[in-house]
């Protein structure tokens, strides 16, 4: 597979195929738990940054869709 280097923002309307290697920081836009899409097979594996820790605590938390639910990066159920 070819390697391509981009120097600007990359937008994909249809996702990416294969592995993505990040050699610098990744900046995620924080949303609230209420703005998470419903967990579904189509978004399984997606990672989101929420700003209310699922309980309105104003604490940042990474969450991952299992396809059936959103869970914290340590595997706890999102409240």
| pLDDT for 9 | 76
Categorize the per-residue pLDDT at 24 as very low, low, confident or very high, splitting at 50, 70 and 90: confident
Strand, coil or helix: 53 = coil
> To 5 degrees, how large is the angle CA 71–CA 16–CA 7?
110
Asked whether the predicted pLDDT for residue 56 surpasses 70, the reply is no
- pTM comes to 0.67
Domain coordinates of the chain in residue numbers? 30-72
| 69/62 Cα distance (integer angstroms) | 14
55 to 6, 32, 72: CA distances (angstroms): 38, 10, 12
Q: Give the mean pLDDT of 43-63.
A: 84
């Amino acid at each position: 597979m070819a390697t391509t280097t981009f120097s600007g923002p990359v937008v994909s309307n249809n996702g990416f195929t294969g592995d993505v290697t990040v050699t610098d920081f990744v900046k995620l836009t924080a949303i609230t738990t209420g703005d998470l899409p419903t967990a579904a097979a189509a978004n399984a594996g997606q990672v989101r940054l929420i700003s209310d820790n699922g309980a309105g605590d104003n604490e940042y938390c990474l969450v991952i869709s299992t396809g059936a639910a959103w869970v914290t990066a340590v595997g706890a159920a999102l409240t």
